[in-house]
Structure 1
């Protein structure tokens, strides 16, 4: 089914400011949630109203703020740099497999529990059906039937295109299933795609090929140098925890740890020495290093995932950028580190779409201490193309609302709000990664 082109909010005719202000103050649909229900409701045709994305309120509980609409229009017209994301599936999914892709758990839970009855599930039903020509809030079975009717290729094309991306930095190290890689993702999104190399994967590949332990370090460095990557990623949080020393491991320590790794039937880096060694390999190569922090799947031990545990290593890495990913529920700790350490940057990826309607609160809390020039956008989308769209949409809404409230309160000017929006949307990522 072909779909008529829809105007972006930034392309719609705009009423004079006074008229728009009167319309905003008179909006009957505002509730304490900060969302104008009138502007966000589906139109009579069943499609989302063309002005829906102007419905974020500048002040909680107030009228439909003009400033929020203008900041949101600016963000919608500004392609994002998604600095941490993954591949998507190129095949159809049944309901069970689809719901499993909406959770960080291994399963969706016992009978009677549905991932559609979660923040991310309701966000998906609110924002994704119109992209597939359905009413907002379509029932799950109707949504999945329409998804199957269109086919994976068309679904992926629509959602990656709807995300409004200029560039993607794709973590290629985790592929438990067949996923589309950076070239395919870039083509579907109409964006430049870059690789983020996962450090532990490189080390495990070297170990699996039987390289002598004494040559392990040089082989890892050589392979890392040969990759055309814009950054590296550490998953120490999943394996050894984040309490990593800031000292470079000695060559003898690395060789001994490599020997232990090679004796494993299926090499899996879990040694604190090797995690530190790998980070310093990336530092020596001049690559920004991404760290998984906090929220993740069941392999992540949140007791060892607080970014404050990294402080010694973060200091030792300076001036090479350290990119703290996800961060929930430690996002305020991450914001503190971004303020006090010159080389630390933060995002709220993964948590943004999982928190759904509560994403604006997360974004506001991240921005309490973090310098605005050190906050980036990421989706951490994986498997489902919908997560690219949801991450981008909820980020834009949350950031626009935060900045507009500041304009309303006189904390900064409208010009400042647009400048900061541009930094967080893409400018900071372009500067750090050189893309």
Structure 2
């Protein structure tokens, strides 16, 4: 989460994937996500549902960021956090986030591109850089519960599926290190493939961003179906591939999860951004996704409100769908609660190998 109190503009910037301010005369509060924040968050800060943005933001500052965050996170029902630690900005650490949420467990997801860029900034030649990268991935695998790739942003998912040869990797790394400016992002397709395959060899789950995001990506190149050949090629490694977000290609992600045993789909930020339509989108994901292959997460960061909205919209969408399908006789009543528990937490527990101090699985974000 962002540290400290936020200006109105800074708060509103977290309500969108855009990298720009809202168009003149408009507001990002006037979106499905903005309306969801106004519905579910004000009562947690002693206001009525749908409080006007100005009143809500004033009340948030009156309480102070620490108290507002404590109240908001405490109401989510989240029992553990699985956190991507490669996000930019002045954000709380995973430990600080867990403390604000009541001391729940926190687990790390390592962002491959951020890891690589940090090493490149300190690299002393190509050979040393590649050796350091191999060690860093191996070291991260000892403490993290998974890796994440942003290849969709940096190049697109239309990458050759096979593992690049060592000679290709050396040439690409040498070229990148010579030409890059300090802090420059990794976009080289050979090195992106190398990262995917390096993570696949660790035995940990590999999250891959698919579907919509900020303007850095080209949406048509983030379709998870572009990963079909990679998914097929990586299967012998035993790597579990988790397709994040997926919208508006969520039906394609559902297909991949249905036909490949090592592929899972994660609702991610989709439900928060579709707001009042979250139930319809979740129903579409459940058309093909096996019930043991769909994961819940919020993809929240920046605002505690996004954890509230992500959890609340997911919970209500799932309960509404399950209740309707049981009432219609489409689902057996005896299985409905079990399947809901799978999607809400148990699938993520199994995929990420999460355990509590007493040996029982955690619930996740």
State TM-score, norm by structure 2: 0.93
For each residue in 1:148-184, what CA deviation from the matched residue of structure 2 results, as whole angstroms up to 9, or x when unmatched?
0011111111111111111111001112x21011111
Contact 1:294 1:300 in 2 (8 A): no
Who is 1:241 aligned against?
Answer: 156
How do 1:366-377 and structure 2 match up within 5 A? Answer: 366-377=285-296
Who is 2:337 aligned against?
Answer: 418
Who is 1:43 aligned against?
Answer: none
The CA deviation at 1:284 is 1.1
State TM-score, norm by structure 1: 0.78
The CA deviation at 1:431 is 0.6
Partner Cα distance (1:208, 1:230) in 2: 25
Partner Cα distance (1:234, 1:323) in 2: 10
Contact 2:123 2:129 in 1 (8 A): no
Task: Tell me how many residue pairs correspond in the alignment.
Answer: 347
The CA deviation at 1:406 is 1.2
Partner Cα distance (2:276, 2:283) in 1: 13
How do 1:10-409 and structure 2 match up within 5 A? Answer: 88-175=1-88, 177-190=89-102, 191-227=104-140, 228-263=143-178, 264-266=180-182, 267-318=184-235, 319-409=238-328
Task: Give the alignment's Cα RMSD to 1 decimal.
Answer: 1.1
Who is 1:78 aligned against?
Answer: none
Who is 1:67 aligned against?
Answer: none
Partner Cα distance (1:195, 1:211) in 2: 28
The CA deviation at 1:412 is 1.7
Contact 1:335 1:367 in 2 (8 A): yes
Contact 1:261 1:268 in 2 (8 A): no
Partner Cα distance (1:109, 1:129) in 2: 22
Larger CA Rg, structure 1 vs 2: 1
Partner Cα distance (2:122, 2:7) in 1: 37
Contact 1:172 1:198 in 2 (8 A): yes
Runs of 4+ displaced beyond 4 Å: none
The CA deviation at 1:208 is 1.1
Contact 1:128 1:136 in 2 (8 A): yes
The CA deviation at 1:244 is 2.1
Unaligned regions of 5+ residues in structure 2, if any? 355-365
For each residue in 1:48-82, what CA deviation from the matched residue of structure 2 results, as whole angstroms up to 9, or x when unmatched?
xxxxxxxxxxxxxxxxxxxxxxxxxxxxxxxxxxx
Partner Cα distance (1:361, 1:211) in 2: 52
Partner Cα distance (1:95, 1:192) in 2: 31
